[in-house]
Every structure is written in structure tokens, then in C-alpha cells.
Structure 1
Amino acid sequence: MKKYIYNTSRFTAAIALLFMVISCETTNLDINDNPNELTLDSADPNYVLNGIQFSFVGQHFNLSSISSRTMRHVHQFGTYASSSGQGTMNGAWSSAYSIANNLNLLEDLSEARNLPNHVGIGQVLEAFAFINLVDYIGTAVYSEAVNPDFPAPNLDGGQSIYNAMYDQLTDAVANLSATGSVAPEDLFYDGDMSKWIKLANTLKIKMYVQTKLVTNPNAVSEINAILASGNYISTSADDFVARYGTNVTNPDTRHPNFVGAYQVSAGGQYMSNDFMNTLLYGKSNPDPRLRYYIYRQTDQDPTGTLIPCAGDPNYQYCYVGNGYWGRDHADDEGIPNDGSLRATYGIYPAGGAYDDDSFKRTPESTNLGGAGIHPMVLSSFTKFWLAEAALPAPAGLGTNGNSRTYLMNAMQDSFDKVESFSGVAMVDADVTSYINEVLAEYDGAADDQERLAIIIREYYIAMWGNSIEAYNNYRRTGYPTLGMSVIANTAFPRSYFIPSSELNSNDNPALEQKKLTDQVFWDTNPAGFID
């Protein structure tokens, strides 16, 4: 599909905000300029590509933050409906069309300046961004997007967009494989096109697994072909992550979760009692990643007015113990003066502090200063997808490889990633014990559905910092099993509203708002399947 417009008033790139989301030492951008307003004569292709990369990280982090609450990675205040309004997807929607707009410009620039590698990177990120829109909203403007011939564009169906993205990723691999291209300024892989090709192929694996409930005759053969090629993210050296810095102002390049939790006020977002309970008590011994994921500011148990849920039978946990001070899902009670007491983000991936039993307030802790990462696609993620895919249908797809082996290697990759990033050694015996316990459970499972539940549960734990995949997995499989809510919730959002920004600016009379209970095309599970 060819798109033409270079100037749009409806979709603007929030470059100042995006500087807070990703740091880069290889570019010098003027945040007062908008790449969406560049012309063919004035455009620097690296500037345009930077805009695409910034916009994608902004979209991905935004969606992950929304799902971190829905999926009980962190605490959610109130009902699903109260945190799923008609403006919730405005930012993610805008980012996708900023990417599409800039990719148009790159494609035209490439015709004159030989930039297939630039275009290939842009194509991968645009595909990822539109996959995200389909997964969260079920639809998007695509075939008529950012095109002045369609001032009131129509929405496309989710499956048609997915099909277009399969083709686009194939085109992207061809552009990324081109020789003689002008070298792009690459914020993720430092110009290594082979890594971008691996990402493109890994996104296809993700898509094929995501759509396992709907007929896709190419899924098994395509995944097997990618496996045979070896061109996919299988080691941490190829991980797709956004990296943050330690700069405080002009711009602030620190991880957003660090900024919220390690300032003078301390504490920030409440952690989820459900997730901390899983880490603390889900196995025979605490999860070896627990002290990397979660930092405790105190070893004291909450008492009195600091724990208003005490004795209330509506709470499943109220307090999980051992200093892990959080909140139950949907607890919307008033906030006591516990900012310097509650548990918060640790060293991985937010660039905070490792929990070494020092129990200092976060601003006084020894930490990484916010130099964290946002994990978007890790080698462990790939192996969890392949573990699911290798299960026989209907639990999986029946692709090549051994599901148990993929699961084992996925868990090991997760432990290795956390340890290597943090620079704090884990106890090898603890890691081995954890993996062996999970594998013993897997071996004792009664059927493939139970094995799938184990795979998804372990993926849920390993993906800490990226809740997008938790939201997708939950709707596709019904796993992991989540704890109860404190208050009667509205229906679980099987998808999100079409953004109010689109409804208010698109005069297409066929455009109507959807419901939170509407299911995306690949979610064929019954209504009420999850809550």
C-alpha cells in the first residue's frame, strides 16, 4: 500500500515526551521540530527514522503500562471500566500514525537516496505498531491511513491488517537484506541489519501463535521455516529493548518507573499483592528474580491506619508478608502515608535498586539511577512462544521442536537476562532448583492444557516490565490464573475503545464506538471466558 501525506494535523509526534522514554547518544534532535512537517528537500532520513523509533517505544511503553494494571503486574485502582476510558488508546493510536506518516516520507526519500535499510526498519516498527492496535482495539485505519484522498478514512478489520503485516514484514526483510544502502542511524541494533531481520521473523512467530485459535493454514509451515533458517531472536544478543540513561534534565532519560518511584517522595506505584505473592510463595522457595524485580523500603509489617484492609474478608491478601507491602487488585481505598514504606520497582528492568536487605528509602538506596530497559522482545519471549506452538493442537500448533526444552531454555534465558543486566549474581543452586521444580510439574501434568498453563504462567513471571504479552496471552489462553478483585468489577476488557481522538476528528458516518466486551478477531473464546 502506498501512502502519500507528509503533513498531518491529527497525528503529532510528542518528541519531548518520547525523550523520556528512550535515550540515545548517537543523535542530536531538536525537540522543537516535528518530523511530520518535513519536506522531501529538507528531511534528514536519520531524523525521520529517529521519529519512527521514538514513536514506537512511546506506543509500546504506553500499552504495557495500561496492561500492567489490568493484568495485576502492578496494582489497579478501581474497576476495569474506570481505567479503560474512551481516551485510553489516544496515545497508542497517535503513535502508530506518526510512524506511518514518517514511513511514507522515508519511502519517498529512499527513491532518490538509496535508503532501503531505513525503510526496512520503519516497516518492521510500523508492522509492530499496527499489530498492537489490532491486539488492543481490534481495528484501525490502515488502507486509507494518512492519505489526503481519504479525509474521513474507514476502519479496516483486524484480520486484514494482520495479513497486510505478514506481507509487510516479508518486504521489510528484503529491504533489510539490500546491499549498498546508506547506513541508518539505528537506536536499537547499531546498524546491524541481521538483527532487524531476526526481529521481523520473530514478530511473525508471535503473530502465528497469537492467531492459533483462527484458521491460518500457513502457521505451522512458516514457523518451521523460520526455525530452520535460524533467523529469529534466540539469544539475548538479539534482544529488542529500549535503553534508558541517567540524565535528569534536558532531557530526562531515566526509566519512567524509576522516576516515579525513586524521587524524594519515594514509593510511587503500588505493587500488586497478587504478583508478589506469586514470586514469594508460588514455588517451594522464593523466585530467584524476586529481589531484582521488587525493592522493599522497610522490613516492618504495616499496622493500624497504614493497612486499612486488615480484617476485611473481601481482600484475598491485604498484605503478603515479609516487607512486600502492596495492594490487592482494584483496591481503591484512600492512600495512607506509606510512600516510604511500600514495596516498589527494583533494579530490573527499571534501573532501580537491588533488594539487599538494606531497607533504605528509594531516594537513599544504591541504585542504577534509572538506567533501565523496556523489554519488548527477548529471547525468552521467543522460546515461550515456541513452547506453546510446539504443543499439539488445540493447546498449541504442533510445530517442530520440544515444548519442554523450549520452556526450560526460556526460563534459563530469563534468569540470565535479569542477572546480566543487573550485575548482581544469582545463586546458581536456586535457579537450578526453580527450573527443576517447574519441569517436574510439567512432566506430571495431566494433559497439554495443563502444560500450556505452566508455560503461560512462567512467561507471565519472566515478562516483568512488558505486560502487553500478558494481556494477549490471557485472552488467548485464559492463563495465568489471576487472583480475585476487591470490589465487583465491570467486565474484563476483551478490547479497548476506539480512541476519542479518532471519533472526534474523523467525520466518517460509518464510524461507531465499540464495547469493551467486543473481542478481537483472534479471540474466539466464549464471552465471560476471563474476568
Structure 2
Amino acid sequence: MKIIKSISYKVSMITLLCLGLLLTSCETTELDLSDNPNQLSRDQSDPDLFLNSIQVDFGKTVERFGAIAAQVVRIDNMNGRDYQNVYAPTDFNDVWSGSYQSTGEVFEDQNLHNQTFSGILADVRALEPLTLEEELYQHLAMSQVLEAYIIVTLVDFFGDVPYSEALQGSSNLNPSVDDGASIYEAALSLLDDAIINFDKDSSAEPNLDLFYNKDWDKWIKAANTLKMKIYLQRRLVDSEAINRFNEIVTDGNYIQNSSEDFQFSWGTNAIQPDNRHPRYANNYEADGADEYMSNWLMNLMSESDDPRIRYYYYRQSNVVPGAEAAPNEETLNCSLESPPQHYIDGGFTFCYLNKGYWGRDHGDDDGIPPDGFLRTTFGVYPAAGRFDDSSFEGTSQGDGAQGAGITPVLLSSWVDFMIAEVAMEEMNTTAARTSLSNGLTKSIAKVGTFGALDPSGDLSFEPDGTAINSFIADRLAIFDAAVTMDDKMDVIAEQYWIALFGNGIDAYNFYRRTGFPTTLQPNIEPFPATGNFIRSFPYPADLTTNNSSVDPKPDVNQKVFWDNNPDSPAFPIAN
């Protein structure tokens, strides 16, 4: 990561909202920057600007968290053979500053393409007294939901983190960490308060709502759905968690259809600032795609004729060396190599796939050959690239939907998979099957709406209703034929993984919570050379360097509070 320039925090936010998103008009205030260019005084503060900043930083921070989590669970490609060292503490400085405090810096990052990070929690703290003073209860409620999601995610990634003592400025420069369980409780309290505040009469509504366009009933459903997620994540250590989860399901006031989906929408502006989907901005460039797709996920979808595959991936070539084409050491050197023995023993695909799906195996950290216009890249969902109409052309800036995609946060299809997990825990396979069917149906329907975003795509290649119905029926038949509960959980987990494409946070949590799916491609380097699977990530370097109360973690084997499963590799997590 390289710091390329320093800018004023609030000025950058005003620029980002007013010039970048182009979703609504904004009013700026005169800023006296003579004292501290990164700090607004109360009389200069605009609640709408704070809320706008919180929303935009939330989208960027969730996108980054989701990308890292997706890599370790094979939804995306992980470039590193050793779990202990694949992620350095400095890799998390961006999400740390994005979550906590403004740094005023622009980071050049492979997943966020020169995005500016501010500080969600710092802005929430500054916003709260303004909302109470001016009776702006919906402003406050929105910020409470976003804060709850962020602090839960910080716990899920790092374990115990500063919270109750954080953001106190010079009065406490070394805040101690809070127990993750207490932060979860704080998140639930925030959500309860938010639900109350959404229903209050306010002096004014927010100028801009990037999620639900000021539909407060949908915000309440999102808050309840986030509570469901929290209960599910701590069910291993909370005997009442499933009961609390089911109470919300019975009440019915949660996200149940795509019109209620909780997601962040990106724009099409390429410069000053670049507000396109980061996956688009990073891969639809003059020098071709920068990221590799996961061979495991592409193979799973290709082999099953998954109707979402042409939306998720765009193939720049119709042949892959070693598959339809002769091996080529220059563009795909592993096409001349033999699979490692544990891949052969487990029957895992290695190096290359058929039909032009050109990606990488889990943990492949080979150098980068001249394949930027050959490798498979992100498609029209969710990154708003190209729909794969078998044109097999190299991509460039401006192709497809120009980056106006989404970062999914909580989708209705995901909720059905959450319900399926609970049903399996209760040994109710009939209810789990119904939820599996519902989740598949909703996921495929939502993804299918993205094809029309690509004006150049030949949509005659879209799957028809017969193909979609056949695919769903086949998945349900496999579920029915599965003899053991573990086999049935593999079916649910694989389809949950596919639905989660675009944000791997819940997959990472599910994997540590359940150990499924057991079908994941292992790391190229066999255990024990890989080290144990990452049970939590290293503390960010900025935290341990600047805070004398927090020491670096000894390794990635430290479990978060809700993970009481056995250590890897005894626990059925593939290394």
C-alpha cells in the first residue's frame, strides 16, 4: 500500500459526495481550515455532510472487508501459500482508519483503487450530539445501524478491539480493547435504539439516503436482519441465540425480498474521485485485469451450469492453456506442472479449467504473466462490468455497465440461507430444503436483473426459465439424495457461497462457525506448511504501533469470542 497524497478529510468528503456520486445536489459550508484541516468545529458541522460521509465510507469499508474475507474462503482468489503470512498487519490499516478515525490520506490499494478512507465511528460520534440537539432522529438511526454492522465486523475479523474507550481524542490516546462479546451487545443495543429512532418524528429528514431512499420501514427491516445475523454468529456460545433469531423470523419484519436488500450502490465517475465499483475500477483498465478469479468457485458453477455464471464472470479468452489450448509457460506456467499429490488424492481441479474460465487455485502466488487481456475477470454482477455473451474480447475502461454496481451487505437470498442453517441445527431438513429453494430462487432472480445494465451485451445468452428451474430442481434433488446431515450441509453451504459473491464476510463467519462446505479446494501448499486456517486476522499495524495498550497477535490462530470450535486442522476446515 502506498500513500500518494494527503488531503483534508471533510473537503474530500464534500468533493466525493457532491462531485463524485452525482446522485443528488449537496450544499457545502464555508470551512475555516486555519486551525486543524482535519477537524470541524460544532458551528461548522452539517449533520447531512457527516451522514453522507458515514454512508460512503461504510460502502468502501464493507467492500474491502468483504474482499479479504472472500479470498480466504475461495469465493475470490487468495494470493499466498502461507496463512500465517499471507496478510500483513499493514494490509488492514485502510479498513482500520475507515472504521475509526480520519487519516486524510488516499491509499493506492488493489481492491479500492485509490479510494479515500475517513472514519465511520469518528463521524458517528460527531453526528450524534447534533442529531439530538436538532431532533434529527432518522440521521441518528441510520448511523446507528451502520455503526452496529462495522463494530460487529471488526470483532469478526480481529476479535477484541477498542470501543468504549476509543475516539476520545487527547484524553485517551491508548484505548484498551473491549471484549468482543460486549461489543456484540453494544451492537444489539444500537439496533434497538435505531428501530425506535426510525419511528420518531424528526425536525427534518436526511438530505441523502444511499440505501433505501428514506424508506424507514425498510431500514427497520435491515436493523432486524442485522440482529438475526448477530444472533446466528454467536449461537455457539449463546443458548438463547436461536430462539431470538426465530422470534424475528416469526414476527416477519426482516428483509424478505430483493426490494428490501441492504446494499451500497456505486457510480460511473472515473476521476476526481473514482466512485465506480472497486472491482470494476481495478480490472477494466488500459493494461487489462489485475485480479484473478477463484478456480474453485468458477469450476463449481461451470460444472453445474449455474445460471449466474455469465453475470459473475466475463471470459476474455475462450481457451485456457492446458485445457482447450496447448500448455503455455509464458501465460500459465502451471499448465506444464503436475498437480500436487493432495489435489490428486482429493480429486480437485488444478491450474486450468475448460470453457475459457481462466483463474487461479487457492494459494497460488506465482508471478504475474502477460495475461491481463486473457484471464477471466469480474462480470456485470455485482461489479457492473460486462455480461458474458461469449464475445471473448479483452476489456477496457468504459466497457459494460461502467462500474455502477453494488456492494451487497445483507440480501434477502442470504437470509434464506441463514434460516436454512438454523433449520439444519434444529434437525428440520424439510424447512432447510424450503429455505434452500427460496435462497436459490431469490439469488438467481436478483443477479439476472443485472444483465440489462450492460448496453453492449447480447442478452440472448441469458439463461431462460427452463434452465433456471432445472438448475434449482437439480440442487434440491442433490440435497434430497444426500444421506448424512453433513452432506446436506455441504449442498447448502456451496450454494450460500455462490449467493455471497461480492461480499465474503458472512462466508468467513459461516465457515468458522460450521466448518462447511467440506468440499473447498485446499491450499496448493499442503498442511502443515500452510499453517492453520485464519481464525482471526492480524491486528492492523496502525493499532499496535500507535496504541501502547494493544500488542500484536502471536499468530492467526486466535479465535474470536463466538468461535469455540476445535483448532484447525482437527476441525473440518480445509487448509
SS across alignment from 1:341? coil
Match of 1:402 among 431, 434, 437: 431
1:486 aligns with 2:532: no
SS across alignment from 1:82? coil
Match of 1:470 among 507, 510, 534: 507
Answer whether contact 1:92 1:133 (CA < 8 A) is retained: no
Match of 1:112 among 108, 113, 133: 133
User: TM-score with structure 1 length normalisation?
Assistant: 0.90
Tell me the CA shift for residue 452 of structure 1. Answer: 2.4
Match of 2:391 in 1: 358
Distance 1:308 1:357 in 2: 25
SS across alignment from 1:385? helix
1:60-99 to 2 correspondence within 5 Å? 60-79=62-81, 80-97=83-100, 98-99=119-120
What letter is aligned with 2:395?
Answer: T
1:458 aligns with 2:495: yes
Greater mean alpha carbon deviation, residues 482-491 or residues 58-67: 482-491
Match of 1:504 among 524, 527, 545: 545
Match of 2:338 among 292, 305, 312: 312
1:37-48 to 2 correspondence within 5 Å? 37-48=39-50
Greater mean alpha carbon deviation, residues 159-168 or residues 73-82: 73-82
Match of 1:3 in 2: none
Answer whether contact 2:284 2:399 (CA < 8 A) is retained: no
Deviations 1:2-27 (A, max 9, x none): xxxxxxx9x9787499779x835125
Distance 2:339 2:308 in 1: 31
Deviations 1:466-525 (A, max 9, x none): 1111111111111222102222423221101121111111133x6453421101111111
Tell me the CA shift for residue 287 of structure 1. Answer: 0.8
Deviations 1:326-345 (A, max 9, x none): 11122222222211111111
SS across alignment from 1:381? helix
Deviations 1:394-451 (A, max 9, x none): x7xx79x922211111100000100112225431111111111111122223343332
Answer whether contact 1:59 1:95 (CA < 8 A) is retained: yes
Match of 2:565 among 518, 525, 528: 525
Distance 2:198 2:239 in 1: 26
Q: How many residues align?
A: 513
What letter is aligned with 1:92?
Answer: V
Rate the CA distance shift 1:422–1:19 in 2: closer, same or farther, 3 A.
Answer: farther
Rate the CA distance shift 1:27–1:521 in 2: closer, same or farther, 3 A.
Answer: farther
Answer whether contact 1:45 1:106 (CA < 8 A) is retained: yes
Rate the CA distance shift 1:35–1:454 in 2: closer, same or farther, 3 A.
Answer: farther
Greater mean alpha carbon deviation, residues 310-319 or residues 45-54: 310-319
Rate the CA distance shift 1:181–1:505 in 2: closer, same or farther, 3 A.
Answer: same
Q: Structure 2: 5+ residue runs without aligned partners?
A: 1-5, 101-118, 322-326, 344-348, 453-458
SS across alignment from 1:227? helix
Match of 1:516 in 2: 556
Answer whether contact 2:311 2:381 (CA < 8 A) is retained: yes
1:43-442 to 2 correspondence within 5 Å? 43-79=45-81, 80-97=83-100, 98-148=119-169, 149-184=171-206, 185-217=208-240, 219-281=241-303, 283=304, 286-302=305-321, 303-305=327-329, 306-310=331-335, 311-314=337-340, 316-363=349-396, 367-393=400-426, 402-423=431-452, 424=459, 425-442=462-479
Deviations 1:363-414 (A, max 9, x none): 2895111111111111101111111112244x7xx79x92221111110000
SS across alignment from 1:87? helix
Distance 1:358 1:270 in 2: 19
List structure 1 segments (4+ residues) > 6 angstroms apart after TM superposition: 11-14, 16-20, 29-36
Q: Structure 1: 5+ residue runs without aligned partners?
A: 1-8
Distance 1:469 1:198 in 2: 18
SS across alignment from 2:409? strand
Rate the CA distance shift 1:143–1:500 in 2: closer, same or farther, 3 A.
Answer: same
What letter is aligned with 1:412?
Answer: T
SS across alignment from 2:43? coil
Answer whether contact 1:287 1:434 (CA < 8 A) is retained: yes
SS across alignment from 1:190? coil
Rate the CA distance shift 1:259–1:369 in 2: closer, same or farther, 3 A.
Answer: same
Rate the CA distance shift 1:453–1:180 in 2: closer, same or farther, 3 A.
Answer: same
Residue identity over aligned pairs, in percent, reads 39
Distance 1:114 1:249 in 2: 37
Answer whether contact 2:319 2:356 (CA < 8 A) is retained: yes
Distance 1:485 1:507 in 2: 35
SS across alignment from 1:241? strand
Answer whether contact 1:294 1:346 (CA < 8 A) is retained: yes
Deviations 1:140-195 (A, max 9, x none): 11111112443321101111111111111101111111123410121111111111
Computed over aligned residues only, the root mean square deviation of the Cα atoms, in angstroms, reads: 2.7
Distance 1:334 1:104 in 2: 44
Tell me the CA shift for residue 89 of structure 1. Answer: 2.2
Distance 1:426 1:29 in 2: 45
Tell me the CA shift for residue 221 of structure 1. Answer: 3.2
Answer whether contact 1:35 1:48 (CA < 8 A) is retained: no
User: TM-score with structure 2 length normalisation?
Assistant: 0.84
Greater mean alpha carbon deviation, residues 470-479 or residues 300-309: 300-309
What letter is aligned with 1:414?
Answer: S
Tell me the CA shift for residue 123 of structure 1. Answer: 0.5
SS across alignment from 1:41? helix
What letter is aligned with 1:498?
Answer: Y
1:23 aligns with 2:21: yes
Answer whether contact 1:386 1:403 (CA < 8 A) is retained: yes
